[in-house]
Chains A and B, each alone.
Chain A
């Protein structure tokens, strides 16, 4: 079964390749720059994974409820109260760039 799926994925991978424009869009959404030289490799490997993932389409999930976490326990809520003391200094020590108690980033507005 495992081997069948792997063979199946490999044969499908040859057929389906994610388009360059889609990779570029994903890179923008993910805030990751992809080097022009590697874009074909990235596309092939992503396609191979998405072909594996496409096996899901063979499952009959009519009237199956979706679950987002095991045994569907509801997450606890707590009162909206301050529970942490201010530790700004401790956190700013490990920041890449700070100024006068603020986290600084490249200038956005002229």
Chain B
């Protein structure tokens, strides 16, 4: 059952080929069997899942069940779940049990989905390898001595390892697309404002966006149909009709103009990754798309701009963790300052502390204009590069990340080397554009991701291209050894 796609599971549930309780039990058993190996799931909500599955079966029996009724899913542990611990991968929130659901979680509840549990992640979504989690690193199911990517590494590894057919994730600088690429699955970061951020623990509010992970583009469309909604509670959520993303998957792609940014094929790109991406471009060309070389001249400034803007916003967002109203508090504080300082030093890990310090530096008197002001201007330049490019092309395609999954510890001592992991993904967050990654090859037995970037709110066209690519390739059907 774990090899079915979500689209197949929906049909199987509706035709009573299997029940939601059977399906849920099956995936819970998979989590029990494999989670020691992958460390992908932090919290398993077994009792709750089986209760929801029973209700789903009752609704399915009536023949009027909602879209994802009875489908088991995992949620990244960044989404608040009422009554279920939401740790954000941090000691700071190890004891945090939210009294409310994030809008994304609520949407899936309304659609009848069954939450199996919460997935591991880099602490406060800050990381590209999942090594910063308080709960230990997630292992890549393709090579357990390698990272799964991050920050949504738990969601990606769980989907790749068939512990769930789909999962929610978030992307601030590449945190959906990079782990999707490294784990050989499909993942989509929507346009900023397409999905509500309410109840999603904030890292960098002008960049954060939630999106789906699944094995196929078709499944990502099904999940996005449910995730995307207008939400009054998120003031940056855009009030715009949500199209049926499944409806346009089968449109012919012949004649689409695809921009290939020359800057994404420069030095630093692994030759095996480059070869796989170029082969994918040939496959797309054979389907009738027109490849057009484009330039995004300010791409090289995206990582520096991001590492001012994201830490600056993080330093403000994370000031709420002070040991007063929820989360961790240090033992026996001698006074209020001591409580703040020790709570935050003991509760946050090294990378989170580093980003708070960088953000504080960039926002402090005397440095604000040189760093934060300048980064915001560069953000405009990066956005304008894309606006110009999309005047001529329908979509932009390139590699998701510079190389396949690397070994644990390989970039541990050098934050800058780790930050460059997101060199091809960060610019879309700065511009607020949608992007996705689909598997397009293998290098040294590890998956390679193809990134598809769309114009604002053009997720349907990205999914269309990705789905058509998956009709003529089988990378998305491949599985790590020993899990089938």
B371 within 8 A of A: yes
A71 to B192, CA, bound (A): 9
Contacts of B376 in A (CB 8 A): 66-68
Interface check B90, CB cutoff 8 A: no
Q: Mark A84-110, 1 if CB is under 8 A from B, else 0.
A: 000100110111110000010111100
Which of B99, B339, B357 is A26 in contact with, Cβ under 8 Å? B357
Interface flags for A16-40 (1: CB within 8 Å of B; 0: not) read 0010001100110111111000000
Minimum Cβ distance to chain B for residue A47 (Å): 10
Contact: B336 with A32, CB < 8 Å? Answer: no
**Nearest CB of A to B260, in Å:** 16
Chain A residues within 8 Å of B381, by CB: 59, 61, 64
How far, in Å, is A7 (CB) from chain B's closest CB? 10
Distance in angstroms from A44 CB to nearest chain B CB is 10
For A78, the chain B residues whose CB sits under 8 A away are: 232
- Asked if A15 is at the interface (CB within 8 A of a chain B CB), the reply is no
A22 to B365, CA, bound (A): 12
User: Is A73 an interface residue, CB under 8 A from the partner?
Assistant: yes
Given A1-B268, A2-B266, does the pair A32, B361 have CB atoms closer than 8 Å?
no
Task: Return A69 CB to nearest CB of chain B, in Å.
Answer: 4
Q: Which residue of B lies closest to A71 (CB)?
A: B432
Q: With A and B bound together, what is the CA distance between A41 and B48 in angstroms? A: 45
Q: Give the contacting residue for A70; candidates B340, B342, B383; CB below 8 A.
A: B383
CA distance A52 to B415 in the complex (A): 10
With an 8 Å Cβ cutoff, the count of chain A residues facing the other chain is 61
Chain A residue contacts of B79, Cβ below 8 A = none
Contact of B192 among A51, A68, A69, A87 (CB under 8 A): A69
Which one of B357, B362, B373, B419 lies within 8 Å of A66 (CB-CB)?
B373
Check B96 against A94 for contact (C-beta < 8 Å): yes
Judge if B480 is at the interface, Cβ distance under 8 Å.
Answer: no
Which partner residue on chain A sits nearest B369 by CB separation? A66
Say if the beta carbon of B280 comes within 8 Å of chain A: no
Q: Tell whether, in the assembled complex, residue B236 and residue A73 are in contact, meaning their CB atoms are under 8 Å apart.
A: yes
| Residues B268 and A32 in contact, CB atoms below 8 Å apart | no
User: Could you tell me if A91 and B99 are in contact, using CB atoms closer than 8 angstroms?
Assistant: yes
Q: How far is the CA of A29 from the CA of B364 in the complex (A)?
A: 9
When C-beta atoms are compared, the residue in chain A nearest to B309 turns out to be: A68
**Does B91 have its Cβ within 8 Å of any Cβ on chain A?**
no
Say yes or no: B301 contacts A70, CB within 8 Å. Answer: no
Contacts of A33 in B (CB 8 A): 341-342, 344-345
- Least distance between B167 CB and chain A CB atoms (Å): 25
Distance in Å: Cβ of B376 to nearest Cβ of chain A = 3
A31 touches B268 (CB 8 A): no
Is B354 an interface position by the 8 A CB rule? yes
- Indicate if the CB atoms of B362 and A53 lie closer than 8 Å: yes
> Is B388 an interface position by the 8 A CB rule?
no
Cross-chain contact of A69 among B206, B298, B334 (Cβ < 8 A): B206
Say if the beta carbon of B374 comes within 8 Å of chain A. yes
Contacts of A95 in B (CB 8 A): 324-326
| Residue of B whose beta carbon sits closest to that of A90 | B99
Q: Which residues of A contact B315 (CB under 8 A)?
A: 30
Which residue of B is nearest A78, CB measured?
A: B232
Whether A32 contacts B357 by the Cβ 8 Å rule is: yes
Q: Which residues of A contact B336 (CB under 8 A)?
A: 105-106, 108
For A23, A34, A49, A76, which residue has the most chain B Cβ atoms within 10 angstroms?
Answer: A49
Residue among B238, B357, B414, B433 with most chain A CB within 10 A: B357
- B383 CB contacts on chain A under 8 angstroms: 67, 70-71
- CB pair B364 A96 closer than 8 Å: no
Closest A residue by C-beta to B338? A106
> What chain B residues lie within 8 Å of A54 (beta carbons)?
304
Report the 7 A-B pairs with minimum CB-CB distance, sorted nearest first: A70-B432, A2-B268, A66-B376, A96-B329, A61-B377, A90-B99, A31-B340
> Could you pull out 16 A-B pairs where Cβ atoms are within 8 angstroms?
A1-B267, A1-B268, A27-B341, A32-B348, A32-B356, A33-B344, A46-B354, A48-B414, A52-B416, A56-B304, A64-B380, A67-B376, A68-B376, A70-B192, A93-B99, A105-B336
**4 additional A-B residue pairs with CB within 8 Å, beyond A2-B402, A30-B344, A56-B305:** A26-B361, A31-B344, A56-B308, A56-B371
